[in-house]
Chain A
């Protein structure tokens, strides 16, 4: 006879409530693990999805995600010419926050190297890749934009032509993909007045120099568009990403590029490590610590609940001992209830989490290995939690059954 089951059957309402309570607690533990995993996945998603073999960034910097990196746009041609590199692309990445429909709209802007890269590799759930060089964008669904929606950014308006699923930046902001020049235009957009002031300052600087006084034509030239002035040059990009031939040797190519004095080179793994050890390191550690604390707290709460449930049964346990039940039977009763409570709680946590986690502002990623590990942890917690109750139950003497 399974006494644990019989007891649960008799106190079903109380057991269900307790299980739901434990389930909610375990859901928080599960969610915290999912947030932790989501943070790690979000941090590395872009690097993994782009799949570049090498990241060429400004000398001495840790790449476009960990800190600001500025390299000249023509670097892409130099990198493309290096033996072993089969493709090199410009990479522009920055985060913006604008007011849209009365609410803040925060997005991570990523420039696609049009026309080579039109975003065909993106996981589109609706719409299409970019089809023209300007004024189109692909937005992640987390941004809440709809296909065909027109978003004013800087001096231009962009139409949403595609929606991606699960594409977020290292900070959890939804990604928006533009043609590279559009991404730069958004990044370096200046108000008209700022442009005019800069132009006047440029003229004043030149007027104060001998050249300006000797060659008036230079003063005229200084007032023209900045893109027409060779010394000002085109806007810079964040990085150049390079792909190598299949079977290529990334460290060998990286060694060639690293010899250049104006750039630093990171392999795919190196860039990934920089993100995990730099950008999200503290958040990752904090969440990890919090997860451990929650697990410990859950174990303590479960132990107290089981202890209380055992105290409620002290007379029954004494009675069982009186009629001859061995300690093994009593131990089985408490341990089985603990395991049932833990496993059902886990099931409740999973079911509620499946409905609740998608509503969280940041991604909550439940991976099979994480779920398996958590189930084993809960198994351990259940055993641990039952120890206090078992300890108390084993101290019960048959005499206590006679105390009425």
Chain B
């Protein structure tokens, strides 16, 4: 059933440049991720993984194709069908490599800012932010700036921020790239927990093949084309 998907793409294509300089970064990508499902997107550098992630993240419009989030069609080719910034705020959560926390906000404020931008009151935002930090095990670092946190702690705070507005979709671009294998696995486990407990659809772009066993589905991407990997273990 199409509506069971938290996020769905149909025939997404992204072409950079034109004529002799034309590069096809993504070709006819159609996939769906259900609520509570955690999906890995793997593939070599330049395969188009980040292009796909930013396209479904409503940051980078496709040349053609459709993005549907929940039951709402939000992109039809390069045409946006809604206020993308507001839509991102309510329905999408992002986690990236390190350094993607706002440096002048404390861990607590980094989470609370996402809530306040979504019109949550200051007190309620701080309460919810603290709950999320507790949930992710970094409540003790609530008053610290990102520069005072370890890479793993930063990523936990980033996950907390991504969860702040109860998004239906969480997108993570190589979230373990700056972490050692142990902490990398912890973060991946965290995404799995979030997907299963919070009911969010989680898409993770990763190069880290050691933690692929935590994913429900694995997509491989090469030359802009997505293939479903038969089973997580097969990729190990």
A binds B: yes
Give me the interface of A with B, judged by CB distance under 8 Å.
1, 3, 6-7, 9-11, 315-316, 319-326, 329, 397-399, 401-402, 404
- Establish whether residues A323 and B109, one from each chain, have CB atoms under 8 Å apart when the complex forms: no
Q: Complex formed: what's the CA distance from A6 to B122 in Å? A: 14
A38 to chain B, nearest CB (A): 43
Closest B residue to A324 using CB positions: B89
- Establish whether residues A6 and B59, one from each chain, have CB atoms under 8 Å apart when the complex forms: no
- Establish whether residues A402 and B86, one from each chain, have CB atoms under 8 Å apart when the complex forms: no
Q: Complex formed: what's the CA distance from A320 to B88 in Å? A: 11
- Establish whether residues A11 and B104, one from each chain, have CB atoms under 8 Å apart when the complex forms: yes
The answer to the question of B31 belonging to the interface, with a C-beta cut-off of 8 Å to chain A, is: no
The answer to the question of B39 belonging to the interface, with a C-beta cut-off of 8 Å to chain A, is: no
Q: Binary interface profile of B, 84-113, with partner A (CB < 8 Å = 1, else 0)?
A: 011011101010110110111100010011
11 contacts between A and B (CB under 8 A): A1-B109, A9-B104, A10-B103, A320-B102, A322-B59, A323-B117, A324-B88, A324-B92, A324-B117, A404-B97, A404-B99
- Establish whether residues A399 and B104, one from each chain, have CB atoms under 8 Å apart when the complex forms: no
- Establish whether residues B100 and A324, one from each chain, have CB atoms under 8 Å apart when the complex forms: no
Given contacts A323-B94, A324-B89, contact A316 B103 (CB under 8 A): yes
- Establish whether residues B104 and A316, one from each chain, have CB atoms under 8 Å apart when the complex forms: yes
Quick one: which of B50, B60, B89, B104 contacts A323, CB cutoff 8 A? Answer: B89
Given contacts A320-B102, A322-B88, A324-B88, contact A402 B173 (CB under 8 A): yes
Residues of B within 8 A of A322 (CB): 59, 88, 94
The answer to the question of B30 belonging to the interface, with a C-beta cut-off of 8 Å to chain A, is: no
Residues of B within 8 A of A1 (CB): 109, 112-113, 116, 122, 125
Residues of B within 8 A of A316 (CB): 102-104
- Establish whether residues A6 and B104, one from each chain, have CB atoms under 8 Å apart when the complex forms: yes
Given contacts A399-B54, A402-B173, contact A326 B86 (CB under 8 A): yes
Given contacts A399-B54, A404-B97, contact A326 B85 (CB under 8 A): yes
Q: Binary interface profile of B, 158-174, with partner A (CB < 8 Å = 1, else 0)?
A: 00010000000000010
Q: Complex formed: what's the CA distance from A322 to B112 in Å? A: 15
A128 to chain B, nearest CB (A): 64
Residues of B within 8 A of A325 (CB): 85, 89, 117
- Establish whether residues A321 and B85, one from each chain, have CB atoms under 8 Å apart when the complex forms: yes
Residues of B within 8 A of A398 (CB): 59, 88
Residues of A within 8 A of B114 (CB): 323-324
Given contacts A316-B103, A319-B102, A401-B96, contact A324 B118 (CB under 8 A): yes
- Establish whether residues A3 and B59, one from each chain, have CB atoms under 8 Å apart when the complex forms: no
B9 to chain A, nearest CB (A): 19
Quick one: which of B60, B102, B145, B161 contacts A399, CB cutoff 8 A? Answer: B60
A132 to chain B, nearest CB (A): 73
Q: Complex formed: what's the CA distance from A302 to B113 in Å? A: 28
B134-156 residues with Cβ-Cβ distance < 8 A to A are 145
- Establish whether residues B104 and A10, one from each chain, have CB atoms under 8 Å apart when the complex forms: yes
Q: Which residue among B60, B94, B145 has the maximum number of chain A CB atoms within 10 Å of its CB?
A: B94
